[in-house]
């Protein structure tokens, strides 16, 4: 996929977030979590990550059941790690039913 195609796809994904992505974005945007700046649906290489905090080099992925034991996710996580990013994953259900717990866990990864 070309860089232009990745950018186009990222923009489209920002317009149609999942319920869990929408919920987490409301909690992260505008430096609401301990002053850390997050971006959503960010292209990194040929990948698009759900959320990114450049300052902490932290990628946040919010996944549904289709991502359980996904080989493509493993490859992607390895590529991101090779570029110096840490990846944390949360299930959609956790973001929707326990957002406070997700934020507390995120704080541990940010510091």
d(CA 32, CA 35): 6
Running DSSP on this structure, what letter comes out for residue 16? S
Residue 57 has pLDDT above 70, yes or no: yes
Least confidently predicted of 19-33, 45-59, 68-82, 95-109: 68-82
Strand arrangement of the beta sheet that strand 39-44 belongs to: 39-44, 47-53, 58-63, 86-91
What is this structure's pTM?
0.92
Per-residue pLDDT at 70 exceeds 80: no
Is-contact 83 45, C-beta < 8 A? yes
Report the mean per-residue pLDDT for the chain: 94
Query: Which class for 42: exposed (0-12), middle (13-18), buried (19 or more C-beta within 10 A)?
Result: middle
CATH topology for the 3-110 domain = Endonuclease; Chain A (3.40.960)
Domain limits, the chain = 3-110
Per-residue pLDDT tens digits for 16-53: 999 999 999 999 999 999 999 999 999 999 999 999 99
Does pLDDT of 5 surpass 60?
yes
């Amino acid at each position: 996929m070309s860089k232009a195609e990745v950018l186009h796809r990222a923009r489209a994904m920002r317009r149609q977030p999942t319920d869990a992505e929408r919920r987490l974005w409301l909690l992260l945007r505008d430096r609401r979590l301990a002053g850390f700046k997050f971006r959503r649906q960010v292209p990194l290489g040929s990948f698009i990550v759900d959320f990114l905090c450049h300052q902490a080099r932290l990628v946040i992925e919010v996944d549904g059941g289709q991502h359980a034991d996904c080989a493509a996710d493993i490859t992607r996580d390895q590529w991101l790690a090779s570029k110096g990013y840490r990846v944390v994953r949360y299930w959609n259900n956790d973001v929707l039913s326990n957002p406070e717990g997700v934020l507390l866990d995120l704080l541990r990864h940010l510091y």
